[in-house]
Amino acid sequence: MSVRPNRPTGRENQPGGPPARRTAGFSLPELLVVIVVLAVMATVGISRYAGSVVHHELHAAARRVQADLELARQRAIATGAGQTVQFTAGTGRYSLLGVADINRPGSTYAIDLAGSPYQVTIASANFDGAGASQITFDAYGKPVFAQVLAANVIPSVVLTAGGRTVTVALDPSSGKAHLP
């Protein structure tokens, strides 16, 4: 009687017998190790991705505030009249008083950073060291302060999202807004 090569004979693991044949594929422990490694990598990747989204939203909102402060400054220079920007701390809202919203004629130019795409809160707006939440630019584009600023006071707006903060600072002499 002859033995077929593909059929086990029962003598595969005996000395002098044919070598044990391994079937193609992976064992259960090997698959489990791969799944655990992929799960750890996915967890780390998702948390880093979420953090980068918050970082992007926060900095995009800060650039928006910076651009709108510059818009108010330039509008004051162009019209030769004062231009005020008012911030509401604890929300994401601010407005350029006396400027019409281009998307809603008859309405004041108002921004809500708490909504999409920013999802950011204005933690504080302090333009005079005493908590003033609005800033007015004069006809020369310079900020007008209700009181004389102390030497260590930097007029600023602080934005927050996901436990992170970013500050938009206003140069007290030129009125230009800048990010750190």
Cα four-point dihedral sign 111, 114, 118, 122: positive
Q: What was the pLDDT predicted at 31?
A: 87
Residues near 107 by Cβ (< 8 Å), separated by ≥ 6? 100, 101
Q: What was the pLDDT predicted at 10?
A: 57
Q: What was the pLDDT predicted at 148?
A: 72
pLDDT at 134 over 90: yes
Name the pLDDT band for 149 (thresholds 50, 70, 90).
Answer: confident
How far separated are the first and last CA of the chain, in Å rounded? 87
**140 with 77: CB under 8 angstroms?**
yes
Specify if 10 maps to a domain. Answer: no
Name the pLDDT band for 12 (thresholds 50, 70, 90).
Answer: low
Render pLDDT for 36-58 as a digit per residue (tens, 0 to 9). 888 888 777 776 666 678 889 99
Query: Does the pTM exceed 0.75?
Result: no
**170 with 149: CB under 8 angstroms?**
no
Full domain range(s) for residue 171: 28-178
CATH number for the domain spanning 112: value is: 3.55.40.10
Render pLDDT for 99-132 as a digit per residue (tens, 0 to 9). 999 888 889 999 999 999 999 999 999 988 888 8
Specify if 4 maps to a domain. Answer: no
Q: Based on the number of CB atoms within 10 Å of its own CB, is 159 exposed (0-12), middle (13-18) or buried (19 or more)? A: buried
User: What tokens appear for 140 in the block?
Assistant: 């020369």
* C-alpha 1, offset from chain centre: 77
Across residues 47-73, what is the average pLDDT?
Answer: 88
**82 with 76: CB under 8 angstroms?**
yes
Specify if 8 maps to a domain. Answer: no
Residues near 28 by Cβ (< 8 Å), separated by ≥ 6? none
Specify if 16 maps to a domain. Answer: no
Report how many domains make up the chain.
1
